[in-house]
């Protein structure tokens, strides 16, 4: 009798896992967000398992069907789209949150705004002294994240227009280390996620058109005026819409978007 | 019967020791073999990122480009074909990446399944004689009419002679190991220069001169140093040593090789001190007393008898200390700034081999060129420590008092 009941529950559990559990895989930047969402979703009776591995890994798993949702911190690349087309899969894209990067300097720095071109010249090594951009006569020390980080690639793509950083940039293993170093180095410049901004460093206003400068805040990132913003995306197979929509709807709901804010990203709604 | 049982147990013990000894040696050899077999794969990898090719106009006479030239072209540092020694009627280099295609060709005419992309890219290249394109291999096969450059594999000279480390650069990653190897050597050398005199001085003091009371405090304190996790040292270095160096030497930036050397020296000290002290203490009392009896004073005895007698133990301590310094990762990662430039003094930011491996291996795709390049770095590190071990082995065997 007992065994029968146990077997029944086990079968139910398996059924549950098989039908309702949504597998989410991909970007490590989106990972903490998806995990928090999955926890809250579990309290409502849903089930989602989240794993990292990088945006590329997530999209590759979506192609071979080993995940239901691919989480990504970048738009799908042309090459990836081409592969999906070759496999005759139709993919839907949902923006679940946004992430802004703030360009930060030492608080004693007089410079308070820079254009994209100036940033590119600083990070690629054409501008080496703060007096070239209206500051005091001080050597510019450039801090960056490690090459493996998604933030590194994103900044390179959007701000440096795919050019490589100069080879003498100091690369730090974590955002916390960048903040610490910029705090204690007068000529320092670096970039950190909006959520990490604090009073120990000064965030610069940035302009991409050379006319209007915008400070990085949740407001400017949300309305699209601050330019260094990346979407955090979920991709799924259109055929699986029914399976994944409860979870995605939850993420886009008010509760889900509150979680986005708690994790330090910018809500889309 | 009783004797037989005893022999059996002894034989069992002996066998067990033998097995564990040989298993350990075999595992070590296997690890080294694995390291080298993974690393050597890099020299079969193409210069251009896997799955992509570089293509130019059919009439472009360019034959070969080095990875460095490709990087400079795509970084817009080389802007004309003349700089590359190529004569062509449209001298200015224009770049074409896949994302640029809509700028040259109406997007709505690209087929839904992208099957006409090879033709489209061919057409764009045909219209722009000075263009260089970075495109997926698949689009340069059927229906592609322009020239695909065959750039060959990554070669030894570019790897061991290269001065730039951009492992994720597109289209051509740069794997120049010189700055990283130099950085490792600088930091380790600095650490040894700081740790050696301090370490041996403390060992001599503690073994020969210190009173029992002092020794009772000194010994556990030093051993405590060995138990602190390296991340804590790294954090301490970043918050205390880095700003200190910046102030003392009046530098623009405090994350330097010297900061790494100091942190590593502190970390290597307990090993050097503990082992050197044990070696000094192992000098037989009779020898020291004989020296004193001959009229030598305390200093002469230490210099002429105790140290020469225990030199092999002291060198063992030094080797282990250096071994820790060269292979140390976390602490160095946090304080040296990790800029991959060739250092000329200890007061510049440096990037070391262990820090590079630790920071990059997690995200490098398995089996790719970047992954294998990191394994080659591991091989280089292994060879460096091997050489140091052999040298020290040689010195200590020469100096041994028979």
Size of interface A-B (CB pairs under 8 A): 96
Is the distance from CB of A218 to CB of A170 less than 8 angstroms?
no
CB contact under 8 A, B99 and A85: no
Min Cα–Cα distance to chain A from B337, Å: 5
- CA B335/CA B345 separation, integer angstroms: 16
The SS3 assignment for B132 reads: strand
pLDDT at A18: 46
Residues in contact with B79: Cβ distance below 8 Å, sequence separation at least 6, in sequence order: B92, B93
Min Cα–Cα distance to chain B from A164, Å: 6
pLDDT at B16: 93
- CA A168/CA A124 separation, integer angstroms: 9
Assess A177–B contact: CB distance below 8 Å, yes or no: yes
Query: Which residues from chain A sit within 8 angstroms of residue B118, using beta carbons?
Result: none
- CA B360/CA B173 separation, integer angstroms: 14
pLDDT at B402: 43
pLDDT at B45: 86
- CA B333/CA B353 separation, integer angstroms: 10
Assess A184–B contact: CB distance below 8 Å, yes or no: yes
Assess A261–B contact: CB distance below 8 Å, yes or no: no
pLDDT at B227: 85
The SS3 assignment for B94 reads: strand
The SS3 assignment for B243 reads: helix
Query: Which residues from chain A sit within 8 angstroms of residue B349, using beta carbons?
Result: 168, 170
- CA B294/CA A131 separation, integer angstroms: 72
Which pLDDT tens digits describe chain B residue by residue (402 residues)? Answer: 556 778 888 899 999 999 999 999 999 999 999 999 988 888 888 888 877 889 888 888 888 888 888 988 988 888 888 888 888 877 888 888 877 887 888 877 777 667 788 888 888 888 888 889 888 887 888 788 888 888 888 888 888 988 889 888 888 888 999 999 999 999 988 998 999 899 999 999 998 888 889 989 988 888 888 888 888 998 899 889 999 999 999 888 889 999 999 999 998 898 899 989 999 998 899 988 999 999 999 889 998 899 888 888 888 888 888 887 788 888 888 899 888 889 898 899 999 999 999 888 766 776 788 889 999 999 999 998 888 888 777 877 766 554
CB contact under 8 A, A147 and B360: yes
Assess A108–B contact: CB distance below 8 Å, yes or no: no
CB contact under 8 A, A85 and B112: yes
Closest residue, chain A, to B176 (C-alpha): A167
pLDDT at A131: 93
Query: Which residues from chain B sit within 8 angstroms of residue A152, using beta carbons?
Result: 168
Assess A158–B contact: CB distance below 8 Å, yes or no: no
In 10 A of CB B145, how many CB atoms? 12
Min Cα–Cα distance to chain B from A173, Å: 7
Average pLDDT, chain B: 86
pLDDT at B400: 57
pLDDT per position as a tens digit, B311-363: 888 888 888 888 877 888 888 888 998 888 898 988 999 999 999 998 887 66
What backbone torsions phi and psi does residue B71 show, to the nearest 5 degrees? -60, -45
In a mutagenesis test of the B interface, which of A55, A108, A173, A174 is the best target, namely the one with the most B β-carbons within 10 Å?
Answer: A173
CB contact under 8 A, A79 and B349: no
Q: Residue B175 is inside which H or E element, if any?
A: strand B174-175
The SS3 assignment for B254 reads: coil
Is the distance from CB of A35 to CB of A50 less than 8 angstroms?
yes
pLDDT at B137: 82
In a mutagenesis test of the A interface, which of B70, B112, B121, B252 is the best target, namely the one with the most A β-carbons within 10 Å?
Answer: B252
Q: Residue B88 is inside which H or E element, if any?
A: none
- CA B241/CA B257 separation, integer angstroms: 12
- CA B149/CA B64 separation, integer angstroms: 7
Residue A70, preceding bond cis, omega within 30 degrees? Answer: no
In a mutagenesis test of the A interface, which of B71, B363, B367, B374 is the best target, namely the one with the most A β-carbons within 10 Å?
Answer: B363
Query: Which residues from chain B sit within 8 angstroms of residue A148, using beta carbons?
Result: 168, 359-360, 362-364
- CA A91/CA A87 separation, integer angstroms: 11
Residues of chain A falling short of pLDDT 50: 15-18
Residues in contact with A33: Cβ distance below 8 Å, sequence separation at least 6, in sequence order: A96, A97, A232, A259, A260, A263, A265
CB contact under 8 A, A167 and B166: yes
Q: What is the DSSP string of chain A?
A: -HHHHHHHHHHHHHHHHHHHPEEEEE-TTTHHHHHHHHHHHHHTT--EEEE-S-HHHHHHHHHHTS-SEEEESSPPPHHHHHHHHHTT--EEEEEEEEEEEEEEE-TT----EEEHHHHHHHHHTS--BGGGGTS-S-B-EEEEE-TTSHHHHHHHHHTSTTPPPPTTPEEESSHHHHHHHHHH-TTEEEEEEGGG--TTSEEPEEESSSS--B---HHHHHTT-SS-EEEEEEEEEGGGHHHHHHHHHHHHSHHHHHHHHHHT-EE--
**Least CB–CB distance from A173: residue in B179, B243, B359:** B359
Assess A157–B contact: CB distance below 8 Å, yes or no: no
Nearest Cα neighbor of B345 from B265, B268, B261, B269 is B261
Query: Which residues from chain B sit within 8 angstroms of residue A85, using beta carbons?
Result: 112-114
């Amino acid at each position: 009798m007992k065994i029968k009941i146990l077997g029944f529950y086990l079968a139910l559990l398996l059924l549950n896992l098989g039908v309702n559990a949504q597998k989410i895989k991909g970007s490590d930047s989106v990972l903490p967000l998806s995990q928090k969402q999955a926890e809250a979703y579990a309290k409502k009776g849903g089930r989602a398992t989240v794993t990292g591995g990088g945006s590329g890994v997530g999209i590759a798993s979506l192609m071979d069907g080993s995940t239901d949702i691919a989480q990504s911190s970048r738009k799908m690349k042309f090459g990836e789209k081409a592969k999906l087309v070759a496999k005759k899969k139709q993919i839907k894209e949902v923006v679940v949150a946004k992430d802004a990067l703030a360009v930060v300097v030492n608080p004693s720095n007089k410079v308070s705004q820079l254009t994209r071109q100036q940033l590119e010249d600083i990070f690629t090594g054409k501008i080496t002294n703060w007096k070239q951009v209206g500051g005091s006569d001080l050597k510019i020390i450039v801090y960056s994240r490690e090459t493996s980080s998604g933030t590194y690639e994103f900044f390179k793509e959007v701000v440096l227009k795919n050019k490589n950083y100069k080879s003498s940039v100091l690369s730090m293993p974590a955002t916390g280390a960048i903040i610490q170093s910029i705090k204690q180095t007068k000529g320092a410049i670096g970039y950190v996620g909006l959520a990490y901004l604090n009073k120990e460093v000064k965030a610069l206003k940035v302009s991409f058109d050379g006319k209007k400068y915008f400070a990085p805040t949740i407001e400017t990132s949300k309305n699209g005026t601050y330019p260094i913003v990346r979407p955090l995306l979920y991709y799924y197979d259109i055929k699986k819409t029914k399976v994944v929509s409860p979870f995605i709807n939850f993420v886009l709901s008010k509760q889900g978007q509150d979680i986005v804010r708690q994790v330090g990203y910018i809500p889309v709604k | 019967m009783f004797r037989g049982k005893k022999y059996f147990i002894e034989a069992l013990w002996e066998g067990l020791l033998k097995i564990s000894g040989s298993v350990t040696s075999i595992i070590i050899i296997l690890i080294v073999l694995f390291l080298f077999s993974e690393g050597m794969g890099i020299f079969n990898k193409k210069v251009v990122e896997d799955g992509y090719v570089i293509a130019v106009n059919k009439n472009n006479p360019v034959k070969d480009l080095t990875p460095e030239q490709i990087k400079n072209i795509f970084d817009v540092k080389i802007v004309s074909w003349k700089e590359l020694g190529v004569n062509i009627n449209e001298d200015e280099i224009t770049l074409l990446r896949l994302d640029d295609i809509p700028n040259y060709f109406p997007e709505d005419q690209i087929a839904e399944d992208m099957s006409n992309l090879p033709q489209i890219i061919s057409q764009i290249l045909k219209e722009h004689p000075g263009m260089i394109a970075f495109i997926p291999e698949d689009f340069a096969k059927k229906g592609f009419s322009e020239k695909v450059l065959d750039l060959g594999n990554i070669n030894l000279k570019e790897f061991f002679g290269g001065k730039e480390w951009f492992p994720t650069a597109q289209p051509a990653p740069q794997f120049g190991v010189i700055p990283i190897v130099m950085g490792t050597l600088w930091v380790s050398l600095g650490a040894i220069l700081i740790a050696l005199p301090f370490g041996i001085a403390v060992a001599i003091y503690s073994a020969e001169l210190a009173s029992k009371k002092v020794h009772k405090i000194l010994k556990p304190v030093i051993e405590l140093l060995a138990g602190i996790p390296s991340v804590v040292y790294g954090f301490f270095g970043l918050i205390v040593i880095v700003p200190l160096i910046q102030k003392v030497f009046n530098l623009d930036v405090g994350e330097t090789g010297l900061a790494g050397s100091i942190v590593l020296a502190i970390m290597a000290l307990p090993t050097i001190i503990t082992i050197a002290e044990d070696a000094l203490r192992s000098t037989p009392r009779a020898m020291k007393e004989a020296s004193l009896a001959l009229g030598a004073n305390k200093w002469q005895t230490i210099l002429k008898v105790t140290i020469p007698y225990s030199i092999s133990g002291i060198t063992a301590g030094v080797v282990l200390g250096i071994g820790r310094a060269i292979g140390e990762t976390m602490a160095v990662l946090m304080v040296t700034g990790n800029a991959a430039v060739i250092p000329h003094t200890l007061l510049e930011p440096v990037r070391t081999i262990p820090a590079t491996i630790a920071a990059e291996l997690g995200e490098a795709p398995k089996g790719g060129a970047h992954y294998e390049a990191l394994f080659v770095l591991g091989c280089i590190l292994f060879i460096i420590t091997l050489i140091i071990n052999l040298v020290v082995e040689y010195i200590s065997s020469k100096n041994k008092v028979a």
